[in-house]
Chains A and B, each alone.
Chain A
Amino acid sequence: MSRLRADSLTVMAGTRRLLDAVSVDLAPGALVGLIGPNGAGKSTLLRCLAGLLRPGGGAVTLDGAPLADLPSRERGRRIGYLPQSFQPAWDYTVGEVVALGASRRPGATLRIPDLLRDHELTGLGERRWSQVSGGERARALLAATLVAEPDVLLADEPGASLDIGHRIDLMRRLRDWSRRSIVVVVLHDIERAALDCDRLLLLEEGRIVRDGAAATVAGSPDLDRVFGIRFERGSLAGGADAVLMLERRP
């Protein structure tokens, strides 16, 4: 079972600390949500975990080996990363984007049509990127990322441009994947984070201020303080799921 650890990561931008001695230990089996207000350092932390950004201090290790020492090819195969926004320079087809993702696993017998079917993209393989919807793009990028069967999946606001139906569908896929891989997802939607995630990391000004079971973090007064909002906790009529109602602090 793989293990991804960050050990006192520090990232500076000029004199500003984007990350301040952040440590976190991640293992498969739980969908981990990364929450916090704008500028708290969520994307920076995710990019460090993905090996896309080298921290000024501290280190990220995958199964004990420093990420910085991992060959790019192996890092690309073992760590999947879904960016906040993705706009290719050329108008690739959906099938071409998925095939480029699949090229990380040379030798594997992968049939692109099967991959497309698994991600409800049947018939879109020949369609150009500029001609598919936001939801189809998100599924295509997810397919291209998951095709290498990464041990780690890091997603930065993957549902930001999706309607609620597609967002729920995407979270369900990430949840499924988290049973076998490490999955960390940056979320702005606190209600969805509390509902869908097993574990939440709450970031504030480059530091993790809460790390624990989703219900505990969602129920903590730190959440109200960090966002400057009074959250109401409760249940839906007839349902057991806890939801949070938002109310701006007076």
Chain B
Amino acid sequence: MSAAVRALIRLLPLLALALLFGVSAGHDWAGPTRLLQALGGAEDLRARLLLEWRLPRVLAAALVGSLLGLGGAIFQGVFRNPLAEPYLLGSAGGAAIGATVALLVPLGLPSALALGGLSFAGAWGATLLVLAVARGAGARDAAGLLLAGVAVAAMLGAIRSFLMLALSDESVSLQVVLSWTLGGIQTPTWSGLAWLAGLAGLAIGASLTLARGLDLLGLGDDQAEAFGLDTDRFIARAILVGAAVVALAVAYGGLVAFVGLTAPHIARWWVGPRHRGLLPVSAAIGAILVILCDGLARAVLPPAEIPLGLVTAAAGGPFFLALLRRRLRA
């Protein structure tokens, strides 16, 4: 049994505990008895709220988190840099511009389609722009790509702010977009959740086909080519998949920082750098992190809800530093 399968099996109880915490946490804490009653078919309002309101939201959080973990692992693999993450590299920023347009401009399309399609177009376009800018400047190494990504991300942030100011009027509330940019999981309908689950499953499947290529890329461009990888074509394909993963996460969860950076790190420390294990374990860890943070977002300041992006950044930062410290001392 490979290390990755063992790690996934060991993660299952943690995932179950996180789900339990997620369903319990909120303005109205639900103890184990209440949960069991609700699952047993209790008909009262609070039980139904738990099953029909909180459970789908927790499941959506799990899916968004797994996409963020997966996206981070793909981008770190493509850019061969542990600092690479969708937020640093402009792809999330591009997705955010697409989503801002979808939220503020009436396009006559179903909102889920507009949000998903424009987020994807933005994420993909932004990542290709980063690659083009880096290559145009003659940057062949990961540091050059990262710097190009930081520059593009900053420009995209400015464009998004401008769009928010220019496109909002009395008919569209800026509040909707603003709260979305701070990150937050909306409670989906069951059919919406099924869509998200199906798309996330496709994304994970597509990501796994990248595993060998990402491993080879980790050997360096020359060695990857020497071992028979068409690096240019592979990187283009990996970025397409990575952009789709990030766009899906951004469309459903807004801008949730830090999970894409943290989850692959924890996964790499656990199962090593081979992507066949790293990708699914990153996804699982991302799911756990977002379920926990979304639970905290609901429970810390009731009845108000803290934006999810603030919780992931506030909780993720120190957590990550602690792990880093332990790692450096080991």
Distance of A88 Cα from B81 Cα, bound (Å): 11
Asked if B226 contacts A50 (CB within 8 A), the reply is: yes
Q: Chain A residues near B193: list those with CB within 8 A.
A: none
Asked if A89 contacts B223 (CB within 8 A), the reply is: no
**Do A83 and B228 form a contact, CB below 8 Å, given A91-B273, A100-B215?**
no
The yes or no answer to B52 lying at the interface (CB within 8 A) is no
Asked if A88 contacts B228 (CB within 8 A), the reply is: no
Instruction: From B142, B225, B228, give the contact of A89 (CB < 8 A).
Output: B142
The yes or no answer to A97 lying at the interface (CB within 8 A) is yes
Chain A interface size band reads 20 to 34
Asked if B229 contacts A83 (CB within 8 A), the reply is: no
Where chain A touches its partner, the secondary structure class is mixed
Distance of A83 Cα from B222 Cα, bound (Å): 8
**Do A86 and B220 form a contact, CB below 8 Å, given A92-B273, A96-B274, A100-B215?**
yes
Beta-carbon contacts under 8 Å, A125-166 to B:
144-145
Distance of A92 Cα from B217 Cα, bound (Å): 12
B290 to chain A, nearest CB (A): 25
The segment from A12-20, A23-31, A67-75 that touches chain B is: A67-75
Instruction: From B81, B215, B222, B228, give the contact of A74 (CB < 8 A).
Output: B228
Beta-carbon contacts under 8 Å, B180-225 to A:
212, 215-220, 222-223, 225
Q: Chain A residues near B215: list those with CB within 8 A.
A: 96, 100
B233 to chain A, nearest CB (A): 8
Q: Chain A residues near B212: list those with CB within 8 A.
A: 100, 103
Q: Chain A residues near B217: list those with CB within 8 A.
A: 89
Q: Chain A residues near B216: list those with CB within 8 A.
A: 100, 103
The yes or no answer to A206 lying at the interface (CB within 8 A) is no
**Do A76 and B274 form a contact, CB below 8 Å, given A52-B222, A100-B216?**
no
**Do A89 and B218 form a contact, CB below 8 Å, given A96-B272, A96-B274?**
yes
B84 to chain A, nearest CB (A): 11
Distance of A56 Cα from B217 Cα, bound (Å): 26
The yes or no answer to B230 lying at the interface (CB within 8 A) is yes
Where chain B touches its partner, the secondary structure class is loop
Asked if B228 contacts A104 (CB within 8 A), the reply is: yes
The yes or no answer to A61 lying at the interface (CB within 8 A) is no
A44 to chain B, nearest CB (A): 13
Instruction: From B80, B219, B228, give the contact of A86 (CB < 8 A).
Output: B219
Q: Chain A residues near B222: list those with CB within 8 A.
A: 52, 81, 83
Distance of A87 Cα from B141 Cα, bound (Å): 13
**Do A100 and B226 form a contact, CB below 8 Å, given A89-B142, A90-B268?**
no
Q: Chain B residues near A89: list those with CB within 8 A.
A: 80-81, 142, 217-220
Binding site for A on B (CB under 8 A): 80-81, 142, 212, 215-220, 222-223, 225-230, 268, 272-274
Q: Closest 3 A-B residue pairs measured CB to CB?
A: A76-B228, A90-B273, A89-B80
- Pull 14 A–B residue pairs with CB atoms less than 8 Å apart, ordered by A: A52-B222, A72-B228, A79-B226, A89-B80, A89-B81, A89-B142, A89-B218, A89-B219, A90-B268, A91-B273, A92-B219, A96-B274, A100-B215, A103-B212
Extra pairs beyond A76-B225, A77-B228 (18, CB < 8 Å):
A51-B225, A52-B222, A52-B225, A72-B225, A72-B229, A73-B228, A76-B227, A76-B228, A83-B222, A83-B226, A88-B219, A88-B223, A90-B268, A96-B273, A96-B274, A100-B212, A101-B227, A144-B227
